[in-house]
Amino acid sequence: MNIKGSNISFSIFFIGLLPFIMVMGNSLFIPLVPSIQKTFQLTTVESGWFLTSFSVPAAFFVLIGGVVSDHFGRKRICAIGLILIIGGCILSTISLFYVSASWNFLIAGRVIQGVGAGIVSPLAMAFIAELYDGKERLKAFGTIEVYNGVGKLISPILGGFMLLLSWNISFILYLAIALLALAGIFISIRKESITNSSLSLKQLIRSQNQMWQEHWRWLLPITYGGGVGMFLLFGYLFYLSYVSEQASPFPSEWNGVIIAFPLIGLTVCSYVTGRFLKNTTDMYKRMMLYGVMLMVAGTLGLFARESFSFIVLAMFFFAAGLGIFLPAANAALAAIVSKETRGAVFASYSMIRFLGVAFGPVLFGIWMTNMEQLIFNAFFFISGLALFMAMSWHCFPIGHDCDHEKMSHI
């Protein structure tokens, strides 16, 4: 059942909070990592696990959340995930004041938060695919990436302000947003708008295999690009948090604003792409190509790392390219999947993206000992996306049209 009229903006706000919550679970804490490291006397790699303890369970439970929502309803599963986030925030907050082994209980709370965030995250795209059609669906997918971008944008700024007070109150803020999303989903989305899948697990697996056989030329660059893009983005942000601490001409309280600057490019480009994207093969391809070119340029720009301003600018270009790539990839994926497998497909895609989020900070924490190797590693991953696009697509809309081709025979 489609949403029409004034209910569109009302509903999309609360649907958009779902990926916002996932993004905030890491981005809010990135500026706080150096302070957390000092508080608990951790190494750089150990401090990276503060982020990864959230992202790894989130990535794996993304798939579970999407699959079970196909069978039991998006709204019900969404509520369970949000309640888990709330519980995890309460545990982490209490552990800092009343538990002597606070680090272990803090991490336990982060794991629970990650499980809940993983469950709710893929439901946003599944909600949109079911509740919107045509141009409204394209705009809604662009809006979802805007929420992703806004979450990445304001979370580190909020984290920077937390440094002025106490970093542990960030869990209270995270809890409040989860409560808002829980109330909003129940108010704005009608129960009869959700369609449950009647497919068995065996049928679901068969359907997924068939879809990959038919559409691998789209699915390969979409899934790889989403995963690697998020991996590099969060790795860059983790790296930038330490560079800002050491080389920024501004006070440490402004580190959150500095980290947020590249994400302006992600947010603005996601919004613009979503507004101008058309439901054609040519448009999907063009936007993904433009996005990859900017990501490559941003990665190569890190070779000018002697200048702090150039580092921030290079990351701005990379984030802007990712902001162009993701809405086009999301819309192309929605055009491929069947109604019965939407939850599982978007969950698989989201899982790959958030596995990138999970391991970006940890691996960049290791690579930061050799900056040239870090840049070459990053370039290797992003150039792989360009290679997969060249290998998968027989026709590129450069100087001519490819829209005569069917999506399953690109």
Looking at residue 136, what is its pLDDT?
A: 76
Q: The tokens of 365 are what? A: 């924490």
Rounded Cα–Cα distance for residues 182 and 82 (Å):
6
Residue 158 has phi, psi (to 5 degrees) of: -60, -40
Distance CA 126, CA 131 (A): 9
Secondary structure (DSSP) of 318-384? HHHHHHHHHHHHHHHHHHHS-GGGHHHHHHHHHHHHHHHHHHHHHHHHHHTTSHHHHHHHHHHHHHH
Number of domains in the chain: 1
Say how far apart CA 74 and CA 83 lie, in whole Å: 14
Question: Which of 26, 6, 391 is closest to 216 using CA atoms?
Answer: 391
In the block, residue with structure tokens 């709204």: 75
Task: Tell whether 324 is covered by a domain.
Answer: yes
Q: How far apart are the first and last CA of the chain?
A: 31
pLDDT truncated to tens, each residue of the chain (410 aa)? 444 444 556 678 888 888 888 878 877 877 777 777 777 777 766 767 777 788 788 878 877 877 777 777 788 888 999 999 999 999 888 877 665 557 788 888 889 999 999 888 878 877 887 777 777 777 777 777 677 767 777 777 777 777 777 777 788 888 999 999 898 888 877 654 444 455 565 666 776 777 777 788 888 899 999 999 999 998 888 888 778 777 666 666 666 677 778 888 888 888 788 778 887 888 889 899 999 999 999 998 888 777 788 888 999 999 999 999 998 998 888 787 766 666 667 777 878 887 887 788 778 888 888 888 888 999 999 999 999 998 888 888 876 777 655 554 45
Structural domain includes residue 380: yes
Q: Residue 358's domain is classified under what CATH number?
A: 1.20.1250.20
At 372 the pLDDT is: 85
**Does a structural domain hold residue 243?**
yes
**Residue 382 forms part of a structural domain:** yes
The CB density around residue 97, as the number of other CB atoms within 10 Å, is 8
Residue 184 forms part of a structural domain: yes
Largest CA distance in the chain: 66
Output the pLDDT for position 365.
Answer: 81
Which residues neighbour 118 within 8 Å (Cβ) at sequence distance 6 or greater? 22, 57, 58, 59, 60, 61, 62, 64, 65, 81, 351, 354
Q: Is there a domain that residue 1 lies in?
A: no
The answer to whether 313 and 273 have CB atoms below 8 angstroms apart is no
Query: Is 130 inside any structural domain?
Result: yes
Which pLDDT score is estimated for 8? 55
Residue 110, domain member (yes or no)? yes
Whether the pTM exceeds 0.85: the reply is no
Q: At what angle do helices 342-367 and 44-72 cross, to 10 degrees?
A: 180
Angle at 223 between CA 205 and CA 374, to 5 degrees: 135
Looking at residue 325, its pLDDT comes to: 94
Full domain range(s) for residue 54: 7-409
Q: What is the identity of the amino acid at 397?
A: P
